[in-house]
Chains A and B, each alone.
Chain A
Amino acid sequence: MRKLFLVMIALLLTACGGGSGNGDPAGAVQRYLQAKVSGDAEGVRSLLCAAMEADAEREAASFATVSGASIEGMTCARDGETDRVKCEGKIVATYGQEKTEFPLGTYSVVQEDGEWKWCGEAS
């Protein structure tokens, strides 16, 4: 009985975790933004769409000139069944004594090889 309970918990956790993985557009965007803000070049590369491959280096170094970049209050949700993900929250960073903020917006996503990828800001 106890074993069955543990298995069910594990299944439940897996199901929930799936929501923030590359199988879910909102989760892919969140993971991409985290990778970008932390300067994680590998993470950025793995979550960036093929059309923006040439921008990978720039994307990964985007917050290199500021310090302490982090994301506050991020929630992302897919816009219906479209290829757009809308995020609330903001990136905050400091430059010298000055705090600078970057509000999150709406992003394009594409599915490549079954995985959702971040593909720039939605126009």
Chain B
Amino acid sequence: MRLLAVLLFGLLLTAPVAAQNAPEPDPFVASTYLNAINVRSGPGETFAAVTSLGKGIPVRIVERNRVGTWLHIQRDDGAGGLILDGWVVGGYLDLADNLRYSELPVNDSLPDADPSSQNSQSMKLLYAVPVMPFISPAMHDLFLKGLQMGNRSNAVTKVGDSLVANEYYLQLMNRPDNNLGHYDFLAETIAYFGASAAQPSAAARVGLSTAVIFDPMWADSTRCEAGETALDCEYRLKMPGVALVMFGPNDVLHISPKAYYDGMEKIVQRSLEKGVIPVLFTFSYNPDSELWQEALAFNLSLVEIANQYQVPLVNLWAAARIIPDYGLDTDLVHLKNSGFEYLNFANGNEAFYGVAMQNLLAVRVLDEIRRGIIMTSLAG
């Protein structure tokens, strides 16, 4: 009896040790928590569905797209033959806590969409734009010019209407409780830009449009000088190296595509004069809206401007197509908040909420700029 007690005691003592020694789950194995999800031939919803994946079936993750929103999965038959091979939305999978996207190979050879699947010429053109831009060499020169003008390399600001003025967009970057989930590689970029991103922008305001951003009456009189535009005011106050610019949902209600083009071009030109890298964002819109065609035209004008001036263009419009209601809130204009008051890239939030996707793309493009331009410029 005494021996049994000693044995039991010994087992109790060793149990936690055994648990501690249990191997970590394989980070590259996952399954979906949804009943069934489409597996596609490429990293986007315009690629053909090749099969579906049922709930709980384990698959191996072999690579990701550049943003990190789509994962390439495979499943073999145990004898080396593939029985499943394709791409799924990462947010639809239960991913192991120890999966780090920094350790997952990136496929940057496949495009983000298959434009040939679309009937509309406008949609073909918009889908042809990568979700995450490749930063042009011209931006390297612009960044150096900005530094000479006194701009701060680690300062970022935002320019736009209520979708941009939203305090849950970008301003959360400095919070200590941010949860990056599997996007571990974004931590340094968030730390680098966080303090400046937390400051509200004088160039982001409800009701602001590409036209009135040049009307000094719309500038914040408590921070801006008399006669100064909101854009000039923000650039003077923050001296940013980068500005994330998004207009559209307001403009499309009130102005023509030509006026929108002119306004956006003026914003880009002014940013270039000030040595600020303007990162343009396409905007999500409801296809059932009467103004859908106009919204497409507005977004296409951004493609034209971005090409002309070699400035980065983030294709939020395309990225948001996988999100329920295209990432829009019940008013079908504003992007939907996830409800988290900190950046939360865990649990696939970006696949369900417009603001989560907007934040992810913003941080991702800042990461591209920091690694591709800022670090190399400062090192040189």
Residues of A at the B interface (CB closer than 8 Å) are: 55, 58-59, 61-62, 64-66, 91, 93, 95-96, 98, 100, 102-103, 105-106, 120-123
Rounded to whole Å, the gap between the CB of A33 and the closest CB of chain B is: 9
Are B226 and A65 in contact (CB-based, < 8 A)?
no
A100 touches B227 (CB 8 A): no
Beta-carbon contact of A100 and B205 below 8 Å: yes
Q: CB-CB < 8 A to B251: which residues of A?
A: 65
Q: Are A58 and B205 in touch, CB under 8 angstroms? A: no
| In the complex, chain B residues whose CB is within 8 Å of the CB of A95 | 162, 206-207
The reply to whether the CB of B8 lies closer than 8 angstroms to some CB of chain A is: no
Say yes or no for B94: interface residue by CB 8 A criterion: no
Q: Are A65 and B209 in contact (CB under 8 A)?
A: yes
Max count, chain B CB within 10 A of own CB: residue among A91, A103, A120, A121: A121
Q: Do B254 and A65 touch across chains, with their CB atoms under 8 A apart?
A: yes
Q: State the CA gap A105–B227 with chains docked (Å).
A: 10
B215 CB contacts on chain A under 8 angstroms: 55, 58-59, 62
* Interface residues as binary, B223-236 with A (CB distance below 8 Å gives 1, 0 otherwise): 00111100000000
Known: A65-B250, A66-B207. A120 touches B216 (CB 8 A): yes
**A65-B250, A106-B226, A121-B227 given. 14 additional CB < 8 A pairs?**
A58-B212, A59-B215, A61-B211, A61-B254, A62-B217, A62-B218, A64-B209, A95-B207, A96-B331, A98-B162, A100-B207, A103-B221, A120-B216, A123-B228
Interface string of B114-128 (1 = CB under 8 A from A): 000000000000000
A123-B211 in contact given A61-B255, A62-B218 (Cβ < 8 Å): no
Q: Knowing A122-B226, A123-B227 touch, does A65 contact B208 (C-beta < 8 A)? A: yes
B residues whose Cβ falls under 8 Å from a Cβ of A: 161-162, 205-209, 211-212, 214-218, 221, 225-228, 250-251, 253-255, 331
In angstroms, Cα B214 to Cα A120, docked, is 12
Tell me the complex Cα distance, A59–B212, Å.
Answer: 8
A102-B218, A121-B216 as given contacts; A58 in contact with B211, CB under 8 Å: yes
A-B contact count (CB 8 A): 60
- A123-B207 in contact (CB<8A): no
Nearest CB of chain B from residue A107's CB, rounded to whole Å: 9
> Is chain B's binding surface mostly helix, strand, loop or mixed?
loop
Cβ of A61: which chain B residues have Cβ within 8 Å of it? 211-212, 254-255
Measured between beta carbons, the chain A residues less than 8 angstroms from B209 are: 64-65
25 A-B pairs in the complex with CB atoms less than 8 angstroms apart: A55-B215, A58-B212, A61-B212, A61-B255, A62-B211, A62-B212, A62-B215, A62-B218, A65-B161, A65-B251, A65-B253, A66-B207, A91-B217, A95-B162, A95-B206, A95-B207, A96-B162, A100-B206, A102-B217, A103-B221, A106-B226, A121-B216, A121-B227, A122-B226, A123-B226
Is B226 in contact with A105, judged by CB distance below 8 angstroms? yes
Give the CA-CA distance A122 to B227 in the complex, in Å.
Answer: 6
Residues of A contacting B216 in the complex (Cβ-Cβ under 8 angstroms): 120-121
How far, in whole Å, are A121 and B215 apart by their CA atoms in the complex?
10
Instruction: Report the separation of the CA atoms of residues A62 and B254 in the bound assembly, to the nearest whole angstrom.
Output: 10
B214:A58 contact, CB within 8 angstroms = yes
Contact B221 A65 (CB under 8 A): no
Chain B neighbourhood of A93, CB < 8 A = 207
Q: A65, B212: Cβ atoms under 8 Å?
A: yes
Q: Which residue of B lies closest to A93 (CB)?
A: B207
- Please, how many angstroms separate the alpha-carbon atoms of A91 and B205 in the complex? 15
Complex Cα distance A98/B166, Å?
A: 12
A98 CA / B207 CA spacing, docked (Å) = 10
In the complex the two chains form, is A120's CB within 8 Å of B207's CB?
no
**Candidate in A91, A122, A123 with the most chain B CB atoms within 10 angstroms:** A123
